[in-house]
Chain A
Amino acid sequence: DAEITQSPRHKITETGRQVTLACHQTWNHNNMFWYRQDLGHGLRLIHYSYGVQDTNKGEVSDGYSVSRSNTEDLPLTLESAASSQTSVYFCASGDRVGLNEQFFGPGTRLTVL
């Protein structure tokens, strides 16, 4: 069955370190998204991609970067982790054709000490 996976599921890191969160989908979806979820803020879009070599900034992109070298993967990199980036991160994928449904991964809980 097609799926979307994230790794690691839990990560603890220190301030200033570079961290990369992986996202892999097997639906062959063109569109992929990264969100962060914080209490009281819902899901906020960090970066998104509409296809290979395409990346775009979302509403909370400062301190984050992504790259899209193939259809299946959209890794999210925190260049220099900050305590404000402690959050739960969700990756999602979807198809432009249809009802814009997005399929979410199980999430990565990141703690920056």
Chain B
Amino acid sequence: QQQVKQSPQSLIVQKGGIPIINCAYENTAFDYFPWYQQFPGKGPALLIAIRPDVSEKKEGRFTISFNKSAKQFSLHIMDSQPGDSATYFCAASKTSGSRLTFGEGTQLTVNP
């Protein structure tokens, strides 16, 4: 069963826009929520991650918002650039283990 649901499947924005990708999880034991970024022909790479003791984490133009009660978290990309065009995956795991459960992925296109 899919324990992490991600939406939308694809997203197109103009340069400077703020794309938002959403994820929802089911397992309340999850306590680590990373986002991975994947460029065509490459493996995914860690972008940013959050733990549920904070509601927001920001690194550069990338922000994770976390809503523990709703079991949802989202990625916001400020001032998006064409170089941000990639596939983004949310994921979740328990701290005590290292297995990651991934969402279905979002293909982001940022037009110039």
Tell me the A residues contacting B by CB distance below 8 Å: 31, 33, 35, 40-45, 48, 50, 58, 90, 92, 94, 96, 99-107
Cβ contact within 8 Å between A105 and B105: no
Given A96-B98, A100-B95, A100-B98 in contact, is the A43-B45 Cβ separation under 8 Å?
Answer: no
Cβ contact within 8 Å between A100 and B105: no
Given A43-B44, A96-B98 in contact, is the A101-B34 Cβ separation under 8 Å?
Answer: yes
Across the interface, B32 reaches (CB within 8 A) one of A45, A99, A107, namely A99
Shortest distance between the CB of A60 and any CB in chain B (Å): 12
- Report the interface size class on chain B: 20 to 34
Q: Main SS of chain A's interface residues?
A: strand
Tell me the B residues contacting A by CB distance below 8 Å: 6, 9, 32, 34, 36, 41-46, 49, 89, 93, 95, 98-105
Given A102-B46, A104-B43 in contact, is the A42-B89 Cβ separation under 8 Å?
Answer: yes
